Amino acid sequence: MNTDFDYGNANDEQRRAITTTEGPVLITAGPGTGKTFTIVKRVAYLILEKHVEPSSILVATFTEKAAKELITRISSELENHGVDFDPEEMYIGTFHSICLRLIKEHIEFSNVRRNYRIADSFDQQYLVYQNLWSRFKKLPHFADFPLQRTRSWDICEKICSVSNAATEELLDVEAMFASNDVAVIACAEVIEEYNDLLTECNWLDFAHIQLEALHLLEYHPCVLAAVNNQIRYVMIDEYQDTNFIQERLTLLLAEKTGNVCVVGDDDQALYRFRGATVRNILEFPEHFVSCLRIDLTKNYRSDPGIVSFYNEWMEHTAGPRFRFDWGKYRFEKQIVAQRAANGKTETVAKVDADMDDWPDAVCDLILGLKEHGCIKDYNQIAFLFRSVKHANARMLADRFEERGINVYSPRSNEFFGRDEVRLIFGILLLLFPRYVEKLQQGQFPFLDEGTMHYYASCIMQANELLSKDENAELRRWIATRGRAHYRLMENTDYNLSSLIYQLFEFEPFRSILDTPLNTGVHDQRAVRNLSKLVGITGKYEYLQRVNILTIDRINSIVEHFFNTYFRFLRAGGINEYEDETEYVPSGCVPFLTIHQSKGMEFPVVIVDSLYDTPRKTPDDALQQLKDRYGSRESFEPAEDIKWFDFWRLYYTAFSRAQDLLLLTHPETSRRIGKAFEEPYEQLPSVNAATFPYEAFRFQAVKETDLKPSFSFTTDISLYEGCSVQYKFYRDLEFTPVRTAATLFGQLVHQTIEDAHRAALRGETDTITAENTDSWLLANYSTLSKAQHAYLSDVVIKAAQRQVRHYVERRQGRWDDIIEAEVEIGLSKSDYIIHGTVDLVEGDGDTVDVVDFKSERKPDVNHDYEELETYRKQLMLYAHLIEEKTGRKVGRMRLYYTGEEAGNPEITFSHDEDSIDSVTQEFDDVAHKIIQKEYGARATNGRLCENCDFRFYCKY
């Protein structure tokens, strides 16, 4: 074992996991055993000791936040050893992001076309709804499609769940068509129709992202060979939460070297409902002749009493009214506490009271902990629930707020109940009096009572606002717009999102938008909700192709928005903003689902939902499809699955606690769940009066150290132009309504990229005028479909001319192209720089950096400011290219494809003396962004002309 490497505080098992890099390795990592620490050290060991290139390492994890944490910690670890780290080089991210990268790198072999749209679960379901009557209900056997519920939106949800399962489990759809069971045939028809629909729209849902990557590796040997030659070490985190298709991808990615390490905890396998299966980690060793298993069992997180409690939970699987046996469906293990025991008092207890007294009893205890100095911040106490939407959680949250304790519960489905959201909806309804008139006349009988009541309450709240004298100007504006909309005489130049942006001119919305972003999440909640509301309205306009309100469509646009789109959104619920840069917000008690708390830890954890009992998976028909037509036989016994999943869920909950674990349940007619009866009864009871405050002084929650990532074009340049625009568009993520006309530029750019990729593949003979015209038309087809924007034939021919001229000017000189569309990055101490270089070309050790502009060459004497911005951008790219490749950059060139007669290029020399000033300028702006300094407004009036926030900035 190498003794020079810095292992930190690694124990023997962790050291073994860090240094065992060759061959298949399974690392089981119990709660609090230093899993992430071990992964980070293992990557560092590969790079520093084994001299493995970062581009040869793949690390996949479960969430975007976990991926960012890994990138931050790996970069910091390497920086401590003087190694510059480019995160763009390593394949690191979620499974989905890595699959998307593979698709991008090998798009020419993919079934999906360029400019595809990634569909989330709502997009999926809404797409099915848009085609339910015209396509799905016309399928020959649709009447036999298995349904538990018959509402249209529920039918769409079932279609999506069946289609997702077919993709994730690789169901044999052809065999389903051959079945004698008409319900199975109906499912096969639905799956096929759904897949055809995705292909026509050029959409990828989350399941198909992985399927497309798998097909690239399975059906294109040249792609698999290229990927296997590139990636020599594969590491998969949270392997217990992977599905079948992810297992296939893992094994294929490591097929050549066999250097695959999977990390996880079978006891924390929680995501069966998303298609995950614990069998992947339990059966992993069976895929190899020899597989080393390393168990991390030393727990550094929790008090020994807490560890003992959840160890006992996993082992105690028999009670007066239940019994099951883990058998081969769990790795035998015992978590060993490494901390010294509290010694002064019990660290696992219960808080119980009658239902009427229970909310106050819990509040009293929380307030007591604060008053006695046990905690300094409410975020040191986490409440965990099976569902934060349950009545108990809502009742508790309401009581907390009444007594001055802020609650952070972004998944409690409270979005549509927030005042700012209700006010916007109320005003939108008042802006369309014809719709309100029909609503009052009962012309929409299909609307449920809850939706009708919600609209009425929103209108009432808006009218209360408008009745105040200080809102007279807003009242007049609404009246003017409402009259115009009632009898629209000409097409407008705005849509629904635009109307919301216009409202930002008035109070209370102006004050909400003034909220500084260096405050806590609770203070930012209203402005974040306004951003989310604009976003969901903009999505409606995209899906329904609403650019402006027109005479012939205004009524249908408004009715469909309120009667269908919004009704479905409200039924499904919308999560509020979650700040990934904070562990949990300061000043708030977090109310989290158990799933949401996975990977987290808190000094005090209070577990509710003890009414819960093991429940059978409700969709038997879907499970039967998986069993009969899946690619492998079922694993766990059907009768035991509910017990396994239940025990794993609450094991995860209990193991979040560091210093104090409390279980709580109000004494009601609904008795405690049978699984909890015995352990709950044995616990000592505590309340505000009896709690041993002197025995506890809890540590602060750990900080989340995530490095933000900045690019020159989308961050630095935007901020320098207008920091207010940056605040709203980048930080708060408001969806813009007015976007610049970028379709033409993208079209030229992508087709030139096609030519470069052909050259890099050695296919220069295909770079002909006829082929580039064809490539451009193919790009236009996908771009126009993705953006719902179109160009005239004259403009398309102009784009083809620009590409042809570029090809002609190269005169067959393609050999000096080194790389195209180069993703580059550099990790700094507290942020990451990233960017994309259009072209790197040259000969020998000196290269040129080229950036393409699809416009006429500017006047160098009159457009100095614009050219200076481009020069700085190229200077930064040149610096990153030199850092990444070790090659010296000779020239930095701007190539203007719209220049037909003269020299299309502007060339800058690479002045090494000025690189320090450019990087320092970048650094200064990056730190202003990090510090949320958003006071400077645009000095260039052209930036304001089409800015959506011009109404807000009027005064």
**DSSP-assigned letters across all residues of 361-402:** HHHHHHHHHHHTTS-SSGGGEEEEES-TTSHHHHHHHHHHHH
**Residues paired with residue 91 on neighbouring β-strands, in sequence order:** 58
Retrieve residue 801's tokens: 């001319």
User: Which whole-number Å values give the CA distances from 819 to 118, 713, 761, 891, in the listed order?
Assistant: 27, 20, 11, 16
> Residue 111: helix, strand or coil by DSSP?
coil
The pLDDT assigned to 705 comes to: 78
Which residues, including other chains, have CB under 8 Å from residue 456's CB and lie 6 or more apart?
Answer: none
Mean pLDDT over all residues of the chain? 93
The pLDDT assigned to 573 comes to: 82
Helix, strand, coil percentages for the chain (3-state, nearest 5): 50, 15, 35
Decide: 744 and 791 in contact? Cβ < 8 Å: yes
| Spatial distance between the Cα atoms of 780 and 796, rounded to a whole number of angstroms | 8
Going by the DSSP 8-state scheme, the letter that residue 736 receives in this structure is P
| Spatial distance between the Cα atoms of 153 and 569, rounded to a whole number of angstroms | 10
Query: Per-residue pLDDT tens for 299-352?
Result: 999 999 999 999 999 999 988 788 999 999 999 999 999 999 988 899 999 999
- Rounded CA Rg of the chain: 30
Q: How many CB atoms lie within 10 A of CB 226?
A: 13
Find out whether 30 is annotated in a ligand binding site: yes
| Spatial distance between the Cα atoms of 629 and 174, rounded to a whole number of angstroms | 9
Query: Per-residue pLDDT tens for 642-690?
Result: 999 999 999 999 999 999 999 999 987 568 999 999 999 999 999 999 9
User: Of 140, 604, 68, which is closest to residue 376 (Cα–Cα)?
Assistant: 604
Find out whether 33 is annotated in a ligand binding site: yes
Going by the DSSP 8-state scheme, the letter that residue 4 receives in this structure is S
Determine how β-strand 233-236 pairs with β-strand 57-61: parallel
Dihedral of CA 214/217/223/226: which sign? positive
User: Of 776, 749, 919, which is closest to residue 851 (Cα–Cα)?
Assistant: 749
Residue with token string 């569909």: 119
Decide: 497 and 533 in contact? Cβ < 8 Å: no
Query: Per-residue pLDDT tens for 374-406?
Result: 999 999 999 999 999 998 999 999 999 999 999
The pLDDT assigned to 738 comes to: 67
User: For a pLDDT cut of 90, what percent of the chain falls above it?
Assistant: 81
Find out whether 688 is annotated in a ligand binding site: no
Domain ranges of the chain: 12-108+211-296, 117-201, 337-410+580-695, 415-572, 709-946
Provide the CA 565 distance to its chain's centre, in angstroms.
22
Domain 12-108+211-296 sits in CATH at: 3.40.50.300
**Quick check: bond before 508 cis, omega within 30?**
yes
What count of residues does the chain have? 955
Rounded mean pLDDT of 540-544? 95
Same CATH fold, 709-946 and 337-410+580-695? Answer: no
pTM of the model as a whole: 0.92
Query: Per-residue pLDDT tens for 473-498?
Result: 999 999 999 999 999 999 999 999 99
Query: Per-residue pLDDT tens for 48-94?
Result: 999 999 999 999 998 999 999 999 999 999 999 989 888 899 999 99
The pLDDT assigned to 717 comes to: 92
Decide: 723 and 936 in contact? Cβ < 8 Å: yes
Find out whether 36 is annotated in a ligand binding site: yes
More confident position, 416 or 914: 416
Decide: 505 and 954 in contact? Cβ < 8 Å: yes
The pLDDT assigned to 848 comes to: 94
Crossing angle between the packed helical segments 221-230 and 244-253, to the nearest 10 degrees: 70
Which residues, including other chains, have CB under 8 Å from residue 263's CB and lie 6 or more apart?
Answer: 27, 29, 35, 38, 39, 235, 236, 237, 238, 239
Find out whether 393 is annotated in a ligand binding site: no
| Spatial distance between the Cα atoms of 662 and 647, rounded to a whole number of angstroms | 17
Q: What fold, for 709-946?
A: Lambda Exonuclease; Chain A (3.90.320)
User: Of 809, 796, 799, which is closest to residue 893 (Cα–Cα)?
Assistant: 809
The pLDDT assigned to 275 comes to: 87
Confidence of residue 741 (pLDDT cuts 50, 70, 90): low
Rounded mean pLDDT of 421-445? 96
Domain 337-410+580-695 sits in CATH at: 3.40.50.300
Confidence of residue 578 (pLDDT cuts 50, 70, 90): confident
| Spatial distance between the Cα atoms of 177 and 172, rounded to a whole number of angstroms | 9
Decide: 944 and 950 in contact? Cβ < 8 Å: yes
Find out whether 898 is annotated in a ligand binding site: no
| Spatial distance between the Cα atoms of 613 and 50, rounded to a whole number of angstroms | 50
| Spatial distance between the Cα atoms of 705 and 725, rounded to a whole number of angstroms | 26
Residue 865 has pLDDT above 90, yes or no: no
Residue with token string 């074992």: 1
Query: Per-residue pLDDT tens for 785-808?
Result: 998 889 999 999 999 999 999 999
Find out whether 305 is annotated in a ligand binding site: no
Retrieve residue 181's tokens: 């069971």
Going by the DSSP 8-state scheme, the letter that residue 584 receives in this structure is S
Find out whether 275 is annotated in a ligand binding site: no
| Spatial distance between the Cα atoms of 760 and 820, rounded to a whole number of angstroms | 8
Classify each residue of 255-293 as buried b or exposed e, where b means 16 or more C-beta atoms within 10 Å of its C-beta. Answer: eebbbbbbbbbbbbbbbbeebbbbbbbbebbeebeebbe
The pLDDT assigned to 1 comes to: 43
Lowest mean pLDDT among 127-136, 294-303, 837-846: 837-846
Confidence of residue 101 (pLDDT cuts 50, 70, 90): very high
Retrieve residue 401's tokens: 């707020």
